[in-house]
Chains A and B, each alone.
Chain A
């Protein structure tokens, strides 16, 4: 199985500042036939299901604010929130859907400093 490791486990950032969350895969999740990394990011707020933020590493889902961005390739990926807003407090998960069994990172809890 591909192991997804997120860092840090928790993060406190001031309002308006940048937040960066990392996700590392134990093997490449780059699909060579289309040059896409099968990596997605979800946001989960308490009592809610996960919400799709970004897929294929860097494509924002419709309606997701442009302060959210994703980058990376093969095994190393990053979710960046350029200017933290109060409503961004949540747990963030990466997921690889390159090969079954699909696997999540352990989650990163983002709070306001």
Chain B
């Protein structure tokens, strides 16, 4: 069974750094892109970008370029998104999703449960 399990909720202060994770299982982790999605409180879904665990190729949506960094650790089937200096406006739920690939294209089929990040002084 395909599963994406994300790390737990975080409460941080503005200016602090943070790295959250998404661990894949039940499929070959290195052969499917992982997408990241932001959902600010009470708002809609925003596509942040993608990373390919096989070679760490990344593609950021323009709004998130330079704001976050995607990475992976293939040895433990885990993808990450990190911030070097958090802002209050980074407060949101963050989801990872597997992109099915192949003939299906970049179809996000399985999703993690989400990681809530709260940034407050």
Contacts and interface: CB of A to CB of B under 8 A. Distances in A.
Contacts, number: 61
Nearest to A100: B59
Interface residues of A, number: 26
A93 B62 CA distance: 21
Q: Secondary structure at chain B's binding surface: helix, strand, loop or mixed?
A: strand
Among A31, A98, A104, A106, max chain B CB count under 10 A is at: A104
B105 A97 contact: yes
Contacts of A31: 105
Contact of B111 (A50, A91, A93, A98): A50
Interface in A77-113: 91, 93, 95, 97-98, 100-107
Contacts of A98: 105
Contacts of A34: 103
A55 B107 contact: yes
Interface in A51-75: 51-52, 55, 61
Given A38-B105, A55-B104, A50 B47 contact: no
A100 B44 contact: no
A100 B50 contact: yes
Contacts of A42: 45
B111 A97 contact: no
Among B35, B37, B107, B113, max chain A CB count under 10 A is at: B107
Given A1-B62, A101-B62, 19 more contacts: A38-B107, A42-B45, A49-B95, A49-B111, A49-B113, A49-B114, A50-B37, A50-B111, A52-B109, A55-B104, A93-B44, A95-B45, A95-B47, A97-B105, A101-B47, A101-B59, A102-B47, A104-B44, A104-B45
Interface of A: 1, 31, 34, 38, 40, 42, 44, 49-52, 55, 61, 91, 93, 95, 97-98, 100-107
16 contacts: A1-B62, A34-B103, A38-B105, A40-B107, A40-B108, A49-B112, A51-B111, A52-B109, A93-B45, A97-B108, A100-B61, A101-B49, A102-B35, A102-B47, A104-B45, A105-B44
